[in-house]
Amino acid sequence: MAVVNSAIDIVPGHAHLASFGNNVKAAIREAGMIPFEFHTIGVDDGIAMGHAGMRYSLPSRELIADSVETMIAAHCFDGMICIPNCDKIVPGMAMAAARLDIPSVFISGGPMATGRHPVDGRALDLSSVFEGVGAFHSGRIDDAELRRLEQHACPSCGSCSGLFTANSMNCLLEALGLALPYNGSALALSDEREALATRAAFRLREVIGSDLTARSILTREAFDDAFAVDLAMGGSTNTVLHLLAIAHEAGVAYPLERVRELTTRVPTLCRLSPSGPYHMDDFHAAGGVPAVMAELATHDGLLHLDRPTVAKEPLAHTLSAAQRSGDRVIRPATRPYRAAGGLGILYGSLAPDGAVIKAAAVISEMRRHSGPARIYEDHDSCVAAIHAGAIEPGDVIVIRYEGPAGGPGMQEMLAPTAALMGAGLGDTVALVTDGRFSGATRGACIGHVSPEAAAGGPIAHLRDGDIIHIDLDAGTLDAEPSGLEPSEPFRSATSSRWLRRYAAGVSSASCGAVLEEA
């Protein structure tokens, strides 16, 4: 058995995975199998955020998938148990499982506990720190308060405590059927997490015995259910990229328009950080993913309860045993936060191939907004403008040439969005980009605009002052561009040979930003 671990000291979400992996190997031996462990790379998005290092984050997903495929195929393993936790590691491993189509079980490292402010006791997480930086630059908090946020927001190892990308993806492993129930929510270092790892190891033996391979689990219906859970929870916008990429590797045709159709059918049942006040420990106590799926199952035809998963019991049995504790963290389907899903897929003259927004994290006043474009050709110049006070209420910031090929690497935009929030502009300013956002981003922030500027998409033709129209309820993103076609084809200025290769082969964000075959 291959134990595909992602232990790495520099990533807080993975710092405990060496010992966790040893426990998994011991359980595999106890189950009568022979474990061989190898490791993947891992980029810490919190550390890479806001500088050129973030350009390597999304491309690392492809390296992880390629390296896992290489190790498994070269050594003819009978099955694998994958130990991811953060950001691109989860989808990278899942993409490899889909390619290899061997028996695979996932057991993640688990989320960290919620941080607490030492003075007033309010909940803190990673986004508290990034927004604190913006508040510090605008003079709204002092250095001592920023230091308190820094010291108390992330109190332990584990994936960041909000429903950011890592926890979104670990929850969706459950919904897809690659992981056991509560994989996404049982806290790191808890007895429950350790017991779950032991169960996962024993289940791997049974999954192999029944020849239940990854592709037999990763069906179109599984992706429908995963997106339904994602929409109900209000997960990270990055999940759209990653689920589309996993579907691609599984040979499942899954267009972005299919996600849009689901957004109109799936209610928003949760308001987890950054969309609301609750965190993963609250979510787990309230019933976790099984409780969400049990509520969705009350909608006729929304979930597919007869499909295979790595759990011993049928999905319908798992959901019948699920218990939802209270109505605060997970709402009943009869009384949702919103009738529509927590993510929105937008189309229009500015995004003919689509764009994505975390709709659950947008205040009602910004669901329809028109304003003048403020154009920035990269992430850094936009952040400098926000800190310099150059952005006015009503503006629509446009950051372009940050897409998969244009960046290259489609870096996350948490620094500018957190700066807007910290400056008190988050409720009056929208941001549109062909890049992407951190799972910790909130506000009227629209990413994955496709085609991207580097491909000559409409976003490349905008000029300062052009009016942009956003209508989340209608699902549209339109503009009145006055610019002309770019005079020369875009060429990446990166000096990295790896990123140049990536830029030359990566597909559109609307297709999952996967590397296309030559």
Q: For residue 395, give Cα distances in angstroms to 125, 371, 383, 445, 457.
A: 28, 5, 15, 12, 21
DSSP letter at 270 equals B
Distance of alpha carbon 499 from its chain centroid, rounded?
22
b or e along 348-380 (b: 16 or more beta carbons within 10 Å of the residue's beta carbon)? Answer: bebbebbbbbbbbbbeeebbebebebbbbeebe
Q: Which two tokens stand for residue 315?
A: 């999905």
15's CB contacts (< 8 A; 6+ apart) are 7, 8, 9, 157
Q: Is residue 438 annotated as a catalytic residue, yes or no?
A: yes
Q: Which two tokens stand for residue 160?
A: 């960041």
Q: Of these residues, 57, 127, 438, 450, which one is catalytic?
A: 438
Distance (Å, whole) CA 256 – CA 244: 8
Distance (Å, whole) CA 64 – CA 144: 40
218 closest CA partner among 184, 175, 185: 175
Phi-psi region of 216 (alpha: psi -120 to 50; beta: other; left: phi over 0): alpha
- Cβ proximity of 105 and 178 under 8 Å: yes
Long-range contacts of 50-55 (CB under 8 A, 24+ apart): 50/379, 50/383, 50/414, 50/415, 54/379, 54/409, 54/411, 54/412, 55/407, 55/408, 55/409, 55/411, 55/494, 55/496, 55/499
Distance (Å, whole) CA 514 – CA 284: 32
- Cβ proximity of 155 and 112 under 8 Å: yes
Distance (Å, whole) CA 179 – CA 311: 7
Alpha carbon distance, N-terminus to C-terminus of the chain: 32
| Alpha-helical segments (H) within 101-237 | 126-137, 143-152, 165-176, 191-209, 214-217, 220-233
- What is the DSSP pairing of strand 430-433 with strand 36-39? unpaired
Any idea which residues carry the catalytic annotation? 438
